[in-house]
Chains A and B, each alone.
With several copies, the nearest count.
Chain A
Amino acid sequence: MDNLLGLWQESGLYLMTPGQMVMIAVGLLLLFLAINKNFEPLLLVPIGFGGILANIPGAELASSAVDAALHGAHPDVLAAFAHTLGLEIGSSLEAVKDAYNHASVSVQSQLSLQAADFGYSNGMLYNFYSVAIASGIAPLVIFMGVGAMTDFGPLLANPKTLFLGAAAQFGIFATIMGAVGMSYLGWMDFSIADAAAIGIIGGADGPTAIYVSSLLAPELLGAIAVAAYSYMALVPLIQPPIMRALTTEEERKISMTQLRVVSKREKIAFPIVVLILVAMLLPSAAPLLGMFCFGNLMKECGVVDRLSDTAQNALINITTIFLGLSVGSKLAADKFLDPKTLGILALGIVAFGIGTAMGVLMAKLMNKFSEHKLNPLIGSAGVSAVPMAARVSNRVGLEANPQNFLLMHAMGPNVAGVIGSAVAAGVMISMVQSMGG
């Protein structure tokens, strides 16, 4: 009978909290959007599935051994933890949890061994998260693969479109102001590190967003990643109204001259040029832009095709599977169901909107000073969201002028936006860490 009772008390129906039920529904919603609506399925299928796994009651898949031990809350375990943390024996669970969260890395690693002594172990998704994201490796490897899939030809044919990619990053920083404003008004409790991590949603670039938030605000990573990928999928809905509002019919009809031919040598030299500028000006962006340029160099140099193929296929796919499941581990109910998540979702869409607007306005500004007119619709592609935003530019352009193919022209600002948000990521990580954030 004990066993039967035990099985029932270990079953999900007995243990499930309302929060977990909500999060399982959220996971199913993400799967629905990914599969039926084609919302960035490569990421949202693993994230949604991982989110459901993380909320299976009693399985503790997203918990560390210490979390599991604290959840078990056996008196012996709590006493041992309290001793290690320098609390008095008999401290409350809350006190132990609090002391653990503020303990130094060495004390935490001691508790981790202690939890193992009591027979607790890390959950599967927690291990995936540690290896893939906490180490920083998965976003960097994906960025390398993206680099190996990126063609800088259109950008090299018209380098001044880099300015469009720069302007669109204003979405990032405006969002940071929004987040600190919410904190100032007392609506939310975002630290400056949180604000920076939320801002990066405006970079419209998944791996960059995950990399930054894993460093600056790991507890918000789930919400930030979900917002970033969802809004990237929604770019065809978010951007066109803004683009139309800020441009005249005439401007949208501007036809651009065909791009010049770019030689193989220029394409090989470009990632090296970027790398050297990073080395000279912005070391803090070196991991992200370094891996990106490495991927691109492998693609363009033509002598390591087998490495480039692997970076674009097996390696990026394997990494994506584990990255997605790991992000899903951050959709555990106790972390995700927080008013902050609503703040993040609200700020994220503002970030996309402002980035889009600034890209378009920058294109109009540049037209004031330049002979070769840009069609301002390609400015919106500067937010990145590769290649979706460039396709949106093309589609809106075709509405105004059915003979005007903007796709290639929009690819320039599109990939410029990737570089732009990696630069913004680097400077934010460096500044926030020196602010003691």
Chain B
Amino acid sequence: MQESIIQQGVDLLIFGMGTVFVFLTVLVIATLGMSSFIRRFFPDAVAPVTEPAPTTPSNSVDPRHLAIIKAAIEKHRNKQ
């Protein structure tokens, strides 16, 4: 039993880590294939621009837009 839990841990380590590497390796290959296929046969008419900022998952409102809107409101209020 004590032996066996170590054995089970080693099994998890080997097969688990192996699966992760195999799966992600296949995914690298598939992704490269998919990308080159699409870039070759279905290029976009207009080149899209990569987003300049990173995704910030916990923040759903674009802070720049927020700032602009706030500024607009502020300005309007000052005029009154």
The residues of A with any CB-CB pair to B shorter than 8 Å are: 3-4, 7, 42, 146, 149-151, 153, 155-157, 159-160, 162-163, 165-166, 169-170, 172-174, 176-177, 179-181, 183-184, 191-192, 195-196, 199, 259, 261-266, 269-270, 273-274, 277, 281-282, 306, 312-313, 386-387, 390, 407-408, 411, 416, 419-420, 423-424, 427-428, 431-432, 435, 437
Contacts of A424 in B (CB 8 A): 16, 19-20
**Which residue from chain A places its CB closest to the CB of B26 in the assembled complex?**
A277
Q: Could you tell me if A277 and B23 are in contact, using CB atoms closer than 8 angstroms?
A: yes
Within 8 Å by CB of A312, from B21, B49, B54, B60, lies B60
**Which residue from chain B places its CB closest to the CB of A195 in the assembled complex?**
B9
Q: Could you tell me if B15 and A264 are in contact, using CB atoms closer than 8 angstroms?
A: no
Q: Could you tell me if A407 and B54 are in contact, using CB atoms closer than 8 angstroms?
A: yes
Bound CA–CA A42/B58 (angstroms) = 8
Q: Could you tell me if B13 and A263 are in contact, using CB atoms closer than 8 angstroms?
A: no
Q: Could you tell me if B24 and A387 are in contact, using CB atoms closer than 8 angstroms?
A: no
Within 8 Å by CB of B12, from A146, A192, A259, lies A192
Q: Could you tell me if B16 and A172 are in contact, using CB atoms closer than 8 angstroms?
A: yes
Q: Could you tell me if B38 and A263 are in contact, using CB atoms closer than 8 angstroms?
A: yes
Contacts of A420 in B (CB 8 A): 20, 24
Beyond A149-B55, A313-B60, whether A431 also contacts B50 by CB under 8 A is no
Q: Could you tell me if A270 and B5 are in contact, using CB atoms closer than 8 angstroms?
A: no
Bound CA–CA A160/B28 (angstroms) = 6
The residues of B with any CB-CB pair to A shorter than 8 Å are: 2, 5-6, 8-17, 19-28, 30-32, 34-35, 38-39, 42-44, 47-51, 54-58, 60
Beyond A42-B58, A419-B24, A431-B11, whether A273 also contacts B30 by CB under 8 A is yes
Within 8 Å by CB of A387, from B28, B31, B54, lies B54
Beyond A306-B58, A411-B55, A420-B24, whether A184 also contacts B5 by CB under 8 A is yes
Q: Could you tell me if A273 and B54 are in contact, using CB atoms closer than 8 angstroms?
A: no
| Interface of chain B, main secondary structure | helix
Contacts of B50 in A (CB 8 A): 153, 157, 259, 261-262, 408
Q: Could you tell me if B24 and A163 are in contact, using CB atoms closer than 8 angstroms?
A: yes
Q: Could you tell me if B44 and A184 are in contact, using CB atoms closer than 8 angstroms?
A: no
Q: Could you tell me if B17 and A173 are in contact, using CB atoms closer than 8 angstroms?
A: yes
Tell me the minimal C-beta distance from A425 to chain B in angstroms. Answer: 10
Bound CA–CA A150/B10 (angstroms) = 33
Q: Could you tell me if A159 and B5 are in contact, using CB atoms closer than 8 angstroms?
A: no
Q: Could you tell me if B2 and A184 are in contact, using CB atoms closer than 8 angstroms?
A: yes
Contacts of A177 in B (CB 8 A): 9-10, 13
**Which residue from chain B places its CB closest to the CB of A185 in the assembled complex?**
B2
Tell me the minimal C-beta distance from B4 to chain A in angstroms. Answer: 9
Beyond A177-B13, A387-B56, A431-B16, whether A266 also contacts B34 by CB under 8 A is yes
Contacts of A169 in B (CB 8 A): 17, 20
**Which residue from chain B places its CB closest to the CB of A11 in the assembled complex?**
B19
Q: In the complex, given contacts A177-B10, A177-B13, A411-B55, what are 9 additional A-B residue pairs having Cβ atoms less than 8 angstroms apart? A: A42-B58, A183-B5, A264-B44, A277-B27, A312-B60, A408-B54, A423-B23, A424-B19, A428-B16
Contacts of A282 in B (CB 8 A): 19, 23
**Which residue from chain B places its CB closest to the CB of A414 in the assembled complex?**
B54
Q: Could you tell me if B9 and A423 are in contact, using CB atoms closer than 8 angstroms?
A: no
Bound CA–CA A435/B11 (angstroms) = 10
Within 8 Å by CB of A3, from B2, B6, B15, B34, lies B15
Q: Could you tell me if A264 and B48 are in contact, using CB atoms closer than 8 angstroms?
A: yes
Tell me the minimal C-beta distance from A330 to chain B in angstroms. Answer: 23
Tell me the minimal C-beta distance from B72 to chain A in angstroms. Answer: 21
Contacts of A181 in B (CB 8 A): 6, 9
Contacts of A264 in B (CB 8 A): 44, 48
Bound CA–CA A273/B35 (angstroms) = 11
